[in-house]
């Protein structure tokens, strides 16, 4: 149970979902107390806030939502799509995707709406994740429920084409015309970030790896030190089973996101090997 909990804590997708839910609960409480407008004026993105020097609103707008439907839609995309992106990318790359899609979404929106309204919602990040996944896994069939009823299977590249085409249409004919309350420009900004970060040129950049460490008491540190395993892989070994056991132990203790690229590739090779050579 403890190992499972540690794995969940290390999932950035879970952390993002928990933060968004916490912020929405806080927002709902403030709404009952009549303080929601003050929250928007401090953390929502608008031309007025930027003029007043509230630079942080370029990021904090993503923590707020218009209502429960707005929140649930974003949470569904983040849960099903962003989670998959986190599984096949390094933690540092995923963090960059979060920051870049949120920032790009805010910049695109403010470019066309500096004097109009206030931007809130994590849709730019959700769209950035969708774009990244569809471009990295363009031909991997995915099934979803259309209108939450009809199951539809489609290749990600076609799904992305449909989404982006609709966003462009509504951006030009609705948002620019002032007939929409939906920030299609922010969605397109998030998609742009996903497009940029999924390119081969970005993948070739040497990105520094992020790690987060917290101070621990000596007793707790000694206990964790005793429970830590050595996960060094034997590159010359032909015995896949022993190597895979090490990787599975690492996943069990630290979560899938802790695997490096070499370990992910070895796990994929072993999976294909076991499929063709069953015992």
pLDDT tens digits along 236-245: 444 556 677 6
Paired strand residues for 119: 45
pLDDT of residue 60: 96
pLDDT tens digits along 109-143: 999 999 988 999 999 999 999 999 999 988 888 77
Joined tokens for residue 81: 């799509």
pLDDT tens digits along 185-231: 999 999 999 999 998 766 555 555 444 444 544 554 454 444 444 44
Q: Which of 8-12, 186-190, 229-233, 268-272 has the lowest mean pLDDT?
A: 229-233
Joined tokens for residue 184: 């299609």
CB 224 within 8 A of CB 200: no
| DSSP code for 21 | H
pLDDT of residue 226: 47
The domain spans of the chain are 2-203, 218-276
CATH topology of domain 2-203: Rhomboid-like fold (1.20.1540)
- In the predicted model, what is the mean pLDDT of the chain? 80
Q: What confidence category does residue 98 fall into, taking pLDDT thresholds of 50, 70 and 90?
A: very high
């Amino acid at each position: 149970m403890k190992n499972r909990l540690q794995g969940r804590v290390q999932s950035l997708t879970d952390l993002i979902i928990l933060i968004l839910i916490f912020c929405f609960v806080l927002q709902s409480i403030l709404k009952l107390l009549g303080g929601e407008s003050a929250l928007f004026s401090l953390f929502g993105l608008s031309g007025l806030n930027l003029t007043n020097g509230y630079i942080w609103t370029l990021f904090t707008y993503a923590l707020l939502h218009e209502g429960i439907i707005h929140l649930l839609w974003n949470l569904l995309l983040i849960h099903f799509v962003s989670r998959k992106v986190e599984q096949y990318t390094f933690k540092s790359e995923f963090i960059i995707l979060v920051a870049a899609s949120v920032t790009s979404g805010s910049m695109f929106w403010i470019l066309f709406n500096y004097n109009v309204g206030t931007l809130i919602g994590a849709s730019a990040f959700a769209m950035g994740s969708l774009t990244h996944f569809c471009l990295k896994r363009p031909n991997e069939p995915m099934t979803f429920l259309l209108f939450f009823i009809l199951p539809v299977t489609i290749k990600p590249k076609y799904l992305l084409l449909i989404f982006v085409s609709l966003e462009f249409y509504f951006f030009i004919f609705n948002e620019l015309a002032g007939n929409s309350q939906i920030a299609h420009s922010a969605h397109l900004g998030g998609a742009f970030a996903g497009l940029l970060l999924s390119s081969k040129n970005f993948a070739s950049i040497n990105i520094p790896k992020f790690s987060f460490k917290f101070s621990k008491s000596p007793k707790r540190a000694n206990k964790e030190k005793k429970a830590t395993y050595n996960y060094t892989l034997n590159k010359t070994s032909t015995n896949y089973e022993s190597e895979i056991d090490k990787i599975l132990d690492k996943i069990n203790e630290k979560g899938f996101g802790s695997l490096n690229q070499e370990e992910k590739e070895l796990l994929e090779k072993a999976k294909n090997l076991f499929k063709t050579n069953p015992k």
